[in-house]
A and B are shown apart, each in its own frame.
Chain A
């Protein structure tokens, strides 16, 4: 489903060139749960931005569902992000003035979906991310970090994307609430067959995925199946 061919990304700043990605070749199949792991400055965030159609590679090709998307313009990029990709960020990025249910509806607003259908889809997404229904009409500042992140997951899920990208989704959470979030991802992967890519620098977090891609200095140094994978499977508890 995802295929990267010779992806190079070079940042230019005041005549100084920084090579963020050297020569990335990568394939991710539909329904896979992948962790991209590496220390800070390794280029893993740049890779995620390219995967998420937030940034264009300097050279190389990116095929998403067989279509080369590395040459599209800004609006076409926005269209792909809207229809095919869901983002989860380290700092949740919820809007402070919106209720939980409205946060989840926001992507549907840009997709031009009617109000009633929006509400129904948002409810489904909140249920899928195991978000307790008595908090649907709360504001983000009334929720714990773990709950906020699950709102963000529901928001990433609501448009039924083919790919969910999570950038350090547990980075702001303690290990216990982090596990709840990882559990949610695993369940989305098992039950809804969602393709999930998590970017992290923690091995413990990466071990929740089925495959780990290690990168360092802009190059893939390792790509393997997780042998001792951690499966949480306790999502019925809060």
Chain B
């Protein structure tokens, strides 16, 4: 029997019981949809993260207070509380070869009120003009601070500007940060997510003003360093570490700062997202197995209903293999149809999710290939036993069956 004829026979028998075939296919559709949606969202999260790190700049290094031990997370290192970075560290780093720009930063959240009376709790960062170079930011309106600017000036991120002033132009207006008046001199260009923070929802003030008026402390939250190229980042990381250790006259065991390359974040979080994706897709795959059991159930019923037909087919010369193939193809057709509809539905869901829930998702060719393979496998695995039962029927017994 040719493959085309086998396929035709399979469709004929599936179409003869549309409701039952439909319900069985539904089980597979749900499974495949879940797998596709999970994989797409995982894939999207990875892409988005890579984009964020790209925004951050692959040639960027961060010096953080507190020592982050290898294998331990950032949180447990108490990064926020350690106070070890000062302006003289910035001077040391600036002297190292290969360093293009250095941006010392102090960040803290404050309650901010605009002259319009709008109120928000927002991240305020004290920075120097080099911030624009290192952070790859641009001014959209107005101007930026000068070196060692002592004026109470503020530059708003676009989201902050909208929160505080709505549609109005904030340049020249006054805001109160922690009850102190600041004059808005500029607004940044929109940038989206950078690393893990929203680069648009912040207010920049001159570093010295931040130290003297807002925090009252000279310690820095972070020193962002831009290398001349991404190739030398690893070397530079080591050189900065050595230079800072030397300046402090301490041994590596007592290190009270950390130097982290942006690329490192990407690797760590990629593996985290991978684990999550595999975990979620595995849960989705369980529903696929349930769908497979549905297939087996239906095929067993179908074999029992058609015992006489199998007997006749054997009497007119069908071999075991041909009966086995006929039933196996039926179950594979079921799972493949389920797989195709599942991929379509899963893709629609992932498109919907990225449109309405603001989560990036991407349907990859790999996940489509994986789903098709997996659904075919389900058809073979769960269809094999019923098909084998049909193939092994004794033709005499089958012909007599009522």
Contact = CB atoms under 8 A, between A and B. Distances in A.
Contact of A106 (B13, B311, B316, B321): B316
Given A54-B396, A95-B312, 5 more contacts: A75-B319, A81-B316, A93-B399, A109-B1, A110-B313
A117 to B, nearest CB: 13
B307 to A, nearest CB: 11
A109 B315 contact: no
A75 B316 contact: no
Contacts of A81: 314-317
Nearest to B312: A93
B12 A110 contact: no
B316 A97 contact: no
Contacts of A83: 317
Nearest to B316: A107
B395 interface: yes
Interface in A72-107: 74-75, 78-79, 81-83, 87, 89, 93, 95-98, 106-107
Contacts of A109: 1, 5
B316 A110 contact: yes
Given A93-B308, A93-B399, A97-B13, A54 B317 contact: no
Contacts of B322: 110
B309 interface: yes
User: What 8 pairs between A and B have smallest CB-CB spacing?
Assistant: A82-B317, A107-B316, A93-B312, A78-B319, A81-B317, A110-B317, A97-B16, A87-B315
B315 A54 contact: yes
B316 A155 contact: yes
B180 interface: no
B16 A79 contact: no
Interface in B300-348: 308-309, 311-322
A211 to B, nearest CB: 25
Nearest to A94: B312
A110 B2 CA distance: 8
Contacts of A97: 12-13, 16
A75 B320 contact: yes
Nearest to A97: B16
A159 to B, nearest CB: 8
Nearest to B308: A93
B54 to A, nearest CB: 58
B395 to A, nearest CB: 5
Contact of A110 (B309, B318, B320, B399): B318
Which has the most chain A C-beta neighbours within 10 Å: B315, B321, B399? B315
Interface string A141-168: 0000000000000010001000000000
B399 A78 contact: no
9 contacts: A75-B319, A78-B320, A82-B318, A87-B316, A89-B312, A93-B399, A107-B316, A112-B2, A159-B316
Contacts of A223: none
B314 A78 contact: yes
A52 interface: yes
Interface in B1-54: 1-2, 5, 12-13, 16
A51 B399 CA distance: 16
A217 interface: no
Given A97-B12, A109-B1, A79 B317 contact: yes
B124 to A, nearest CB: 76
A93 B310 CA distance: 10
A58 B396 CA distance: 16
A49 B399 CA distance: 11
A110 B303 CA distance: 19
Contacts of A210: none
Contacts of B396: 49, 54-55
A82 B395 CA distance: 14
A111 interface: yes
A95 B309 contact: yes
Contacts of A110: 1, 313, 316-319, 322
Contacts of B313: 106, 110
A89 B399 contact: yes
Nearest to B322: A110
A109 B395 CA distance: 18
Nearest to A55: B396
Contacts of A93: 308, 311-312, 315, 399
Nearest to B395: A54
A78 B318 contact: yes
A95 B1 CA distance: 18
Nearest to A82: B317
A159 B318 CA distance: 13
A106 B399 CA distance: 17
A52 B309 CA distance: 18
Given A93-B399, A97-B13, A78 B317 contact: yes
Contacts of A54: 315, 395-396, 399
A97 B16 CA distance: 7
Interface in A99-133: 106-107, 109-112
A87 B399 CA distance: 11
A83 B316 CA distance: 9
Interface string A39-72: 0000000000100101100000000000000000
A169 to B, nearest CB: 14
Interface string B71-86: 0000000000000000
A155 B313 CA distance: 12
A52 B315 CA distance: 9
